[in-house]
């Protein structure tokens, strides 16, 4: 009897020890979760008379978004999220520790400054680098296609997760990461867009539509859109002012050029050759670079044309730019379609491709950092078309295709 009682007591002791360990583990876990949320920047004694956003941005080039400041929240509107969009998006960025305004859906309300973010487009990554916010980045769609050095360093340290995108989006992984915000984009196709699934999962999502802009500086100014979610307006305003000033100064150097070489872009893909319109950002780049661009029409989008149509217009053009990313030489070009050899630009060797910075997984930095550095892209174009204007500039995103 004594032995049985002793054994029962021993079992009870073991159970108590197990429960104690479990309670301590749960307590530690809760402590970790609580302390991992950075409360820096939160308001502890709210005063409705205080303007909690003394630093504000002004939008000068971008047409796709705007911001309306209130004392404790910002009303951010994305006006044209994708081609032929019938509606936009609104986000209410509420200062942490202050009350949210009424009459808005919970999915629209985002507490700022955010502390963790997942980015589903590489074009957003340079924003985090320029704003000094790479430490907030915890997930990207594809870690192998990244070119931004600061982000690559964090990926190598194992601090950035790969979450996929579009049809391959890993909702479970994102829920595990539990980011304050997911920055993504949309194309208007429910089969491709992932923001609907993310919102349904209870996650905070912001549509970044910089690719819809019709000017290089319009693209770059979405740096300010990203900054709004981190309360980094001051840095964004200063950084973009430097970029726009450089761009305008460089563009001014071609205003008086008399010789404006003719340029065409793109390539024939499965019987279709897409040519950007005369109101596109490509046309703006080439106009500022001092060229006569053979654009498609007076639109801001791209128009599908046949090979024959393009050849009729561009056979004698001086330069050919922005070809297939896979083409590394003129031999590659002609091997793809021997009709390309009949273009004057190919005969003279004036063929330049924007694939000088492509990583081993096919991530092209022209579409990553190039979007945030239009002054450098413009310098490349001027170096190609008018090398005497910028004699000391070395090509960054472009390269000449040799034989």
pLDDT the model gives residue 21: 37
Give the residue from 201, 225, 246 where a domain finishes: 246
Does 367 lie in the same domain as 259? Answer: yes
Does 274 lie in the same domain as 189? Answer: no
Q: Indicate whether 236 belongs to any domain.
A: yes
pLDDT digits (tens, 9 = 90+) for 143-199: 999 999 999 999 999 999 999 998 899 999 999 999 999 999 999 998 889 999 999
pLDDT digits (tens, 9 = 90+) for 368-394: 999 999 999 999 999 999 999 999 999
Q: Indicate whether 126 belongs to any domain.
A: yes
For helices 374-385 and 233-252, what crossing angle results, to 10°?
10
pLDDT the model gives residue 167: 85
Structural domain of 301: 254-400
Q: Indicate whether 94 belongs to any domain.
A: no
Q: What is the DSSP letter of 259?
A: -
How many domains is the chain built from? 2
Task: Please give the model's pTM, rounded to 2 decimal places.
Answer: 0.88
| CA atoms of 43 and 67, how far apart (whole Å) | 21
Does 365 lie in the same domain as 283? Answer: yes
Do the beta carbons of residue 79 and residue 88 sit within 8 Å? yes
Give the residue from 214, 246, 278 where a domain finishes: 246
**Six-digit token string for 296:** 């498609």
Does 162 lie in the same domain as 136? Answer: yes
Give the residue from 226, 246, 266 where a domain finishes: 246
Q: Indicate whether 33 belongs to any domain.
A: no
| CA atoms of 210 and 213, how far apart (whole Å) | 6
CB under 8 Å to 23, separation ≥6 — which residues? none
| CA atoms of 263 and 366, how far apart (whole Å) | 19
Does 315 lie in the same domain as 237? Answer: no
Residue among 259, 249, 267, 323 nearest 291 (CA): 259
Residue among 365, 343, 340 nearest 354 (CA): 365
Q: Indicate whether 84 belongs to any domain.
A: no
CB under 8 Å to 387, separation ≥6 — which residues? none
Does 143 lie in the same domain as 124? Answer: yes
pLDDT the model gives residue 39: 64
Strand partners, 205: 182
pLDDT digits (tens, 9 = 90+) for 85-121: 999 999 999 999 999 999 899 999 999 999 999 999 9
Does 239 lie in the same domain as 172? Answer: yes
pLDDT digits (tens, 9 = 90+) for 293-346: 999 999 999 999 999 999 999 999 999 999 999 999 999 999 999 999 999 999
Examine the pLDDT at 23 and tell me if it is beyond 70: no
Examine the pLDDT at 34 and tell me if it is beyond 50: no
pLDDT digits (tens, 9 = 90+) for 58-95: 999 999 999 999 999 999 999 999 999 999 999 999 99
**Averaged confidence pLDDT in the chain:** 91
Does 311 lie in the same domain as 240? Answer: no
Examine the pLDDT at 29 and tell me if it is beyond 70: no
Does 258 lie in the same domain as 239? Answer: no
| CA atoms of 348 and 400, how far apart (whole Å) | 12
Q: What is the DSSP letter of 31?
A: H
CB under 8 Å to 309, separation ≥6 — which residues? 273
**CATH, residue 376:** 3.40.50.1980
- Angle value at C-alpha 151, between 150 and 153, nearest 5 degrees: 70
Examine the pLDDT at 281 and tell me if it is beyond 90: yes
Q: Indicate whether 2 belongs to any domain.
A: no
Does 151 lie in the same domain as 259? Answer: no
Q: Indicate whether 1 belongs to any domain.
A: no
Does 238 lie in the same domain as 263? Answer: no
Q: Indicate whether 347 belongs to any domain.
A: yes
Does 390 lie in the same domain as 280? Answer: yes
Segment holding 269, helix H or strand E: strand 268-269
CB under 8 Å to 235, separation ≥6 — which residues? 130, 131, 132, 227
Residue with tokens 């056979």: 315
Segment holding 226, helix H or strand E: helix 223-228
Do the beta carbons of residue 208 and residue 340 sit within 8 Å? no
């Amino acid at each position: 009897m004594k032995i049985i009682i002793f054994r029962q007591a021993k079992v009870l002791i073991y159970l108590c020890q197990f429960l104690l360990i479990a309670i301590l583990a749960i307590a530690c876990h809760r402590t970790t979760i609580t302390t991992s949320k950075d409360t820096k920047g939160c308001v502890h004694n709210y005063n409705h008379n205080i303007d909690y956003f003394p630093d504000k941005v002004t939008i000068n080039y971008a047409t796709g978004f705007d911001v309306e400041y209130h004392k404790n929240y910002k009303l951010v509107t994305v006006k044209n999220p994708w081609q032929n969009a019938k509606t936009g998006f609104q986000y209410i960025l509420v200062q942490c520790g202050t009350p949210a305004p009424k009459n808005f859906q919970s999915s629209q309300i985002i507490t700022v400054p955010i502390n963790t973010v997942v980015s589903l487009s590489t074009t957003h990554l340079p924003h985090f680098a320029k704003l000094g916010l790479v430490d907030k980045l915890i997930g990207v769609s594809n870690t192998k296609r990244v070119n931004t050095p600061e982000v690559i360093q964090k990926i190598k340290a194992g601090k950035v997760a790969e979450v996929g995108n579009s049809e391959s989006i890993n909702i479970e992984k994102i829920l595990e990461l539990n980011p304050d915000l997911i920055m993504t984009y949309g194309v208007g196709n429910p089969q491709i867009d992932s923001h609907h699934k993310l919102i349904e999962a209870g996650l905070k999502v912001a549509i970044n539509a910089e690719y819809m802009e019709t000017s290089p500086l319009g693209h770059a100014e979405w740096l300010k859109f990203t900054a709004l979610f981190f309360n980094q307006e001051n840095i964004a305003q200063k950084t973009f002012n430097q970029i726009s000033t450089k761009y305008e100064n460089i563009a001014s150097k071609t205003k008086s050029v008399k010789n404006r070489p003719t340029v065409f872009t793109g390539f024939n893909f499965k019987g279709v050759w897409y040519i950007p319109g005369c109101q596109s950002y490509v046309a703006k780049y080439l106009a500022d670079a001092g060229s006569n661009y053979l654009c498609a029409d007076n639109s801001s989008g791209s128009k599908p044309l046949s090979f024959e149509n393009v050849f009729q217009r561009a056979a004698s053009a001086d330069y050919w730019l922005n070809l297939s990313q896979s083409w590394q030489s003129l031999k590659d070009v002609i091997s793809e379609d021997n009709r390309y050899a009949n273009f004057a630009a190919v005969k003279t060797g004036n063929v330049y491709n924007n694939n000088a910075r492509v990583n081993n997984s096919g991530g092209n930095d022209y579409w990553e950092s190039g979007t945030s550095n239009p002054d450098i892209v413009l310098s490349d174009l001027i170096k190609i078309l008018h090398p005497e204007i910028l004699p000391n500039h070395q090509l960054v995103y472009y390269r000449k295709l040799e034989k």
